[in-house]
Structure 1
Amino acid sequence: MTLPPQRSRRVSNRTGTALRVLLAVALLVPVGVLFGAAWGTSDDRLTATERERHGVEYLRSLGQVTLALVDAQSGAVAGRSAAAAALRTAVEQTSAIDVRYGAELRTSERWAGLHAKIEALPDRPPADPQDAWTVYTETTDLLLALYAKVRESSGLLRDPDADSYHLQDAVAEELPEALVAAGRLADRSTLAIGRPASDRVRIASELALARAEVLGPAADLVENLRSAVDDTASRTLGGNLLSRLDGYQRAVEDLAGLTRNTAAPNPIQVGAARAAAQLAGSGLAGIILTELDVLLRDRADALAGERQIAVGALVLAVLLVLALAALPLLAARSAARNRRTPAGVGLTTDGLRPAAGAEGPPPTGPPPVEPPLPVGAPLAGPPAGGMPPLPERRPLRSDGDPGRRSPLSDWQDPVPAGQPAAVDSQAPWGRPDAR
């Protein structure tokens, strides 16, 4: 069966329109895949960055626990009452932070163990300073293990940027170790005073090991901070860190120098040097955590901007595809509307007009001007078939005599161009055009 030509064209037009629409819609598939990949990557990185910021907040609270616990240990070893109020306040703040981020960072179990250990510390120093040393050393070991857990669970240990990686390594590992080691060095100097002279060699080796535990992390801390300053694009990181770093280095060196006198280390000077090193380390930790949080916040803002760009690109692609799909549909509807219009009639702004193809296109521009006839050219003659006969006229009388012709009846038809005019001798006035 053969389709009529008009129906065949309609089927072909519909098929072409459907194919163009399907092609336009098919463009959304790769666009959607690319958008999904970009969105998933940015979402993962943004989630990881937010988790690192939570780890920074947890580390800030642990810093207060570290300072209070080292002070309490030094007081217990020296036979003084522990600073219970400061330690209790630091523990409460960290407990609040663990409630917020403990499940995310998987630190609740470790913090519960450390919290119980701190609560079990005696309010009064034990009779034997060595017992106080042992109890507090176990507690600070749990504290350093919690630092490592926060660092690992928050993702700070795997930070991709060089500057933020060096900063987290300094503030989450080396600085806490250095602060705890400085307290232990001062406590060993205090314990060495009451020991017999026969233990002098042993005391010297213990103090040398304690100094190495302080100076080693402190040297690594300085190297990490300098690497962070060299690798960062921040304008404030270098100036804020280097001034605090110099003060911390001097305090640690003073403490190490005082403990080299194994014969009679002055406990008051050693305690003052420890407090100075602890204060410098606390200020340095605050600066490092602040700068690290700024870097992570800037990264999160950049990732959020990338997500907005991805959403904008997706919306633009969808609009373009919809436009490509709508154009063939609009063209098909326009063609169908034109086919439903009666033949010879089309739509205009003011009504109906002859449709295209019913007659020639309307003339445009001014009407053509015919050239003038040359001088002396004969007028155009009658058509080839001659003039049609005029109807018979009834002669008129001027005096009422029906037998007499009216002068108007003497008029004759105009003489054709190029023929001599005949004169009617009977016409009293002659031809009007003969005058």
Structure 2
Amino acid sequence: MTVPAPRARRRPSTLGRLLPLLLIGALLAPVGLLLTTTWRQTTDDRDLAVRERLGVQYLSALGSVTDALVEAQTAAINGRPVSGEALNRAVEEAAAVDAHIGVELLSQERWAGVRARLEALRGRSATDPESAYTAYSEVSDLLLALHRKVRESSGLVRDPAADSFFLQDSAGQDLPEAVVAAGRLADLGTLVSRRPAAEQPRGLLELTGLRVAALGPATDLVDNLRSAVDGSESTDLGANVLTPLDTYQRSVEALAAYSTPANGRGPVDPRQLSAAGLNTQRAARQLQPVILSELDALLVERIDELDRDRWLTAGAGVVAGLLLGWLAALLFAAGRRARHRAALAATHTGSPDTSAALDRWQPGDGESRRLPPTAGDPHGLPPTADDPRGLQPVGTARDPETAQWGAFDAAR
């Protein structure tokens, strides 16, 4: 019978060899994109929080300057000698902070202008309270503009969390504006009481407008702090903020009451108004470091969380790389084993010409369906007239029909 030659294994195509690489790339691309995007987003959020902490540090220094400036203004309006020690100390501390982080917060130019105006106030005479009030008000406006600049350049105005956003808005905008406006309100009450009777109505109008300007940021401050406490997950925020906030709110209510003219037309008591303004400033001085401290604590906690997220992202990237490397090693090892088996099969199969010859040989109609004997085969016979191919084995009976026609075939 026909013995078919074993088929040689086909060589893998180019697509088959590249398929493992394509699979690995298809897995690596989305995983790498996801991890890279997560890492960048986390890093950006962390950088923003670190920059916000710089803003908190700068606002703390500016708060001390604001308090000292308001106190110096009150002393100049009331004809008392201005003690420059507190103001000078606050200015030096703010200058040190600006020299350290002013370049990063883009505040050096503005601070240089504010500092020059503050130094110019030292040589001003206290003989003219009206001009002193105007000069101090101009410097206060520049100082408030510097507060806004620091909040913008540090990213505090873009804080993503609700509690920290309300805290930075309170400490960086509402509280400084409320302190400056309260000081102006108390000092203006003193100035109006000294003006001639003919100028009293105009002075009361100025006092009413300034009263609205002072109570507006104070009210916003109270609302923002309560919103921060209500929306925060920190259990320490409410306990630390609410007590000084209540004290400040009561002082603001007293300031509003003493700055309201009797029957809407009568004069205000400048001594009571000055005392109420002083109490408001003291309450604000106690409240500001609490707000900034809580804000800084929230930022530190956020930075720690972002650091943990970055470590998790890096760990996920390492694990994904190891898994993909392991998968690539398995695929390449499987390919090498397949090529090795194919090479072994080709070695043991034999010559392709012999296999082809065996496939082409087919026995005739009258021939036995037996393979030709090989040399030295004990079962074969030499060729005869009846068995020209010598296929009949020894000791095997011939077919009767073949034997009957054998003589005839021999005669032919």
TM-score range, shorter chain: 0.7 to 0.9
**1:293-304 maps to which residues of 2 (within 5 A)?**
293-304=296-307
> Scaled by the length of structure 1, what TM-score is found?
0.72
CA contact (8 A) 2:81 2:126 kept: no
CA contact (8 A) 1:58 1:97 kept: yes
Distance 2:85 2:228 in 1: 36
Counterpart residue type for residue 192 of structure 1: V
Distance 2:139 2:86 in 1: 16
CA contact (8 A) 1:25 1:321 kept: no
Aligned counterpart for 2:269 among listed residues 256, 261, 265: 265
- C-alpha displacement of 1:294: 1.7
- C-alpha displacement of 1:340: 7.6
> Scaled by the length of structure 2, what TM-score is found?
0.75
Q: Which residue of 1 aligns with 2:95?
A: 95
Q: Which residue of 1 aligns with 2:289?
A: 286
Q: Which residue of 1 aligns with 2:111?
A: 111
Matched, 1:308 2:311: yes
Counterpart residue type for residue 272 of structure 1: A
Distance 1:15 1:209 in 2: 82
Distance 2:253 2:303 in 1: 39
- C-alpha displacement of 1:300: 1.8
Give the length in aligned residue pairs: 337
- C-alpha displacement of 1:234: 1.2
- C-alpha displacement of 1:23: 2.2
User: What SS is found at the alignment partner of 1:260?
Assistant: coil
Aligned counterpart for 1:317 among listed residues 314, 317, 320: 320
Which of 294-303 and 146-155 deviates more?
294-303
Q: Deviations over 1:299-354 (max 9, x none)?
A: 2222222211111111111101100111133345556778789x99xxxxxxxxxx
Q: Deviations over 1:123-174 (max 9, x none)?
A: 4533211111111110000001111111122222122222122111111111
Distance 1:216 1:23 in 2: 64
> Which sections of structure 1, spanning at least 5 residues, go unmatched?
345-435
**1:15-414 maps to which residues of 2 (within 5 A)?**
16=16, 18-123=18-123, 125-260=125-260, 263=267, 265-267=269-271, 269-333=272-336
Distance 1:41 1:336 in 2: 46
- C-alpha displacement of 1:100: 2.4
Distance 1:203 1:82 in 2: 25
Q: Which residue of 1 aligns with 2:356?
A: none
Structure index of larger Rg: 1
User: What SS is found at the alignment partner of 1:27?
Assistant: helix
CA contact (8 A) 1:64 1:90 kept: yes
Counterpart residue type for residue 82 of structure 1: V
User: What SS is found at the alignment partner of 2:121?
Assistant: coil
Q: Which residue of 1 aligns with 2:375?
A: none
CA RMSD of aligned residues (A): 2.5
Q: Deviations over 1:266-307 (max 9, x none)?
A: 43x443332221111111111111111122222222222221
Call closer, same or farther: CA 1:273–1:187 in 2, change over 3 Å: same
Q: Which residue of 2 aligns with 1:371?
A: none
Distance 1:295 1:53 in 2: 10
Counterpart residue type for residue 182 of structure 2: A
CA contact (8 A) 1:76 1:124 kept: no
Distance 1:317 1:171 in 2: 45
Distance 1:15 1:48 in 2: 48
CA contact (8 A) 2:248 2:284 kept: yes
Distance 1:121 1:299 in 2: 42
State the identity as a percent.
Answer: 48
- C-alpha displacement of 1:20: 1.8
User: What SS is found at the alignment partner of 1:120?
Assistant: helix
Distance 1:210 1:125 in 2: 25
- C-alpha displacement of 1:17: 5.6
Which protein is richer in helix relative to its size?
2
User: What SS is found at the alignment partner of 1:121?
Assistant: helix
Distance 2:38 2:152 in 1: 26
Structure possessing the higher relative contact order (Cα contacts under 8 Å, 6 or more residues apart): 2
Call closer, same or farther: CA 1:313–1:264 in 2, change over 3 Å: closer
Q: Deviations over 1:70-111 (max 9, x none)?
A: 111111111222221111111111112212222222211111
Distance 2:331 2:215 in 1: 77
CA contact (8 A) 1:82 1:124 kept: no
Distance 1:333 1:20 in 2: 12
Distance 1:160 1:120 in 2: 40
Counterpart residue type for residue 157 of structure 1: V
